[in-house]
Amino acid sequence: MPLQAPARDQQLIQIVNFALADAFQKSSKWLVCRPGCSQCCVGVFAINQLDAIRLRKGLAELEQQDPQRAARTRERAHASVARLSPDFPGDPSTGLLNDDDSDEACKHWDEYANDETCPVLDPEKGTCELYESRPVTCRTFGPALTSEDDLGHCELCFVGATEEEVIACEMHPDPDHLEETLLKELDETTGARGETIIAFALVRDA
């Protein structure tokens, strides 16, 4: 039976979505995010087990609604895994990334699959096939956001904005750290832990 997200996961998504809506309201003049803008869909990034569960659930729902679109998405995911497995910085049999934070491992990750297009992206429309189930990183990319003590944003956004204007638009997607709590709960109840990437999450069904 597929893993289920903790009961409060939907609450987390509601909090993140509310923060995103607020960010767009505050910084709409600076944000260029729109359907068809897919620069942020190129290059792999780590997702957690909550993200992976949502993606698999979303694909299962798509299979019920539109089997052909779901089949194309799954086919792209399998093709991506085949390309990425030989140099995967983790265990390709499980799809879990290494938690090695050595300089060599970090350099490998920084240079890994930066040209790989997300398999969930519809290559013709430039839109996400699992938009409602997308990872938190996808929901928060674009607006000004602090990560690892560094305030950043999509390079296409905030063009011409001053530092003060960017700071004033900072997004706070999970102020009470609910995601961290839910990940711990998921680990304790199911043993699911570690990070993966989108292609492996869709192919290595839990």
Residue 147, pLDDT score: 84
DSSP labels, 63-114: HHH-HHHHHHHHHHHHHHHHHHGGG-SEETTTTEEP---SHHHHHHHHHSST
Q: State if pTM tops 0.85.
A: yes
How high is the pLDDT of residue 149?
A: 83
- pLDDT value at position 181? 98
pLDDT by 10-residue block (mean), the chain, 206 residues: 90 96 91 88 96 97 97 98 97 94 92 97 94 96 88 92 93 96 97 96 81
The per-residue pLDDT for 205 is: 65
**Cβ count within 10 A of residue 131:** 12
